[in-house]
Amino acid sequence: MAAVRLRDQALLLRRFPYGESSLVVHALTRDHGRVHLLAKGVYRPKTPFYAALDLFDTLELEWSARAGRDLDPLAGARILERRHLGRDLPRYEAAVCVLELLGMAARPGAPAPRLFDLGVRALDELDEGREPPARALVSFELGFLAALGLAPALTTCAACGGDAPALEPDAPSPRAAFSAGAGGRLCRSCAEEARAAGRRVGTLPVAVLGAAADLARDALRERAADDRGPALDPAGLDNVRDVVARFLEYHLEARPKSYRAFLASPQRNAPRRGATAAR
C-alpha cells in the first residue's frame, strides 16, 4: 500500500535515541492521535528537523504514513511554540505529568483535538508561570478526566444527581461521602447503597471538593479568561490534587510514574481523629 504524506500539530510524548544518529519520537498529534516516528540523521544541521524535536514545544510534524507500519519516517518538523520548562523544577515536573497523562490516553489513529488542546493550554500556563504549577496541573487533570468522560461528581451526588450535603454539617470541617468507584461525591442514601454493593466509600472535606469543583470550572473554561477564581494556598492545592490524582489512578487502573512521589504520602484528606476528640 502506498504511503501518504501527513502533516499535523504535535506534542512530543517521549523521545529516545535510535542507532548512532537517529531518534524515535512518540507524539500526540491533534487530528491523527498517537504517532511513532523515526527521525533519521537528526543531529545533522542540514536535516529538516534539526533542533526541532524538544519535549514541551508545540510542533508541526510532517511524516509519511503507511498502514501497518510501526515506525513511520519523519519528513519535517517546525516549532510552532517554543517553551522553556527546563528552568524551574516544579514546573518541569508538572509538565512531565501532563505529557505522561496524554501518553496514557493517546491512541494511534484516534483524533484527539480536545486532549491536544488541553495539553497545549496546560503547557502554556506552566511556561507563563502566572499561577502555581500545581494549580495548572490539577486544572489539566480535571479537564483530562472530563475529556475521557470520567469527570468526578464534586458538588452533587454521582449516583442520583441530587444534592449531596455534608454528613455532619456542624462539624468543624464538614465532610461528604465520596467513592471513586461510584464516580465521586454521594448523598447519604446512595453512599449506603454503594457500601451495600461492596464499593469502597470514604469521606472528603466539603471545602476540598468545593475547591476542586472550582478548578474544574477553570478546566472546562466555564469562567472568563481574566477571572481566575479564588486563590488556593499550596496546602489547599495539594489537598485538591490528592483527591484528583487518586481518582485518576483509580480510573486509569495505573499509577502514572510521575505521580509516585506525590501519592507516596498518606492521604492528605483523611479525617483527623484528634480534631473530633477535641470537639
Q: Does 160 bind Zn ion (CB under 5 A)?
A: yes
Q: Does 197 bind Zn ion (CB under 5 A)?
A: no
Q: Does 159 bind Zn ion (CB under 5 A)?
A: yes
**Buried b vs exposed e over 195-206: b needs ≥16 C-beta within 10 Å?**
eeeeeebebbbb
Question: By CB neighbour count within 10 A (0-12 exposed, 13-18 middle, 19+ buried), where does 181 fall?
Answer: middle
As measured in angstroms, the least distance from the Cβ of 203 to Zn ion is 15
* CB neighbourhood size of 110 (10 A): 12
Q: Which is nearer to Zn ion, 53 or 158 (CB)?
A: 158
Beta-bridge partner residues of 14: 26
Q: Does 209 bind Zn ion (CB under 5 A)?
A: no
Q: Which is nearer to Zn ion, 157 or 211 (CB)?
A: 157
Measured CA to CA, the distance from residue 157 to residue 139 in angstroms comes to: 21
Measured CA to CA, the distance from residue 178 to residue 240 in angstroms comes to: 13
Measured CA to CA, the distance from residue 159 to residue 179 in angstroms comes to: 10
The closest alpha carbon to 55, from 152, 139, 123, 144, belongs to 123
As measured in angstroms, the least distance from the Cβ of 182 to Zn ion is 9
Q: Which is nearer to Zn ion, 184 or 256 (CB)?
A: 184
Among 187, 237, 240, 243, binds Zn ion (CB under 5 A): 187
Q: Does 201 bind Zn ion (CB under 5 A)?
A: no
Q: Does 3 bind Zn ion (CB under 5 A)?
A: no
Q: Does 126 bind Zn ion (CB under 5 A)?
A: no
Q: Which is nearer to Zn ion, 191 or 232 (CB)?
A: 191
As measured in angstroms, the least distance from the Cβ of 179 to Zn ion is 11
As measured in angstroms, the least distance from the Cβ of 178 to Zn ion is 12
Measured CA to CA, the distance from residue 173 to residue 61 in angstroms comes to: 51
Near Zn ion by CB under 5 A, which window of 99-107, 157-165, 251-259, 269-277?
A: 157-165
Among 190, 206, 208, 243, binds Zn ion (CB under 5 A): 190
CB 99 within 8 A of CB 55: yes
Near Zn ion by CB under 5 A, which window of 39-47, 95-103, 183-191, 219-227?
A: 183-191
Near Zn ion by CB under 5 A, which window of 41-49, 56-64, 140-148, 184-192?
A: 184-192
C-alpha grid cell for residue 92?
Answer: 518541569
As measured in angstroms, the least distance from the Cβ of 189 to Zn ion is 6
As measured in angstroms, the least distance from the Cβ of 163 to Zn ion is 8
Q: Which is nearer to Zn ion, 112 or 153 (CB)?
A: 153
Near Zn ion by CB under 5 A, which window of 81-89, 138-146, 170-178, 190-198?
A: 190-198
Q: Which is nearer to Zn ion, 39 or 159 (CB)?
A: 159
Q: Which residues bind Zn ion (CB under 5 A)?
A: 157, 159-160, 187, 190
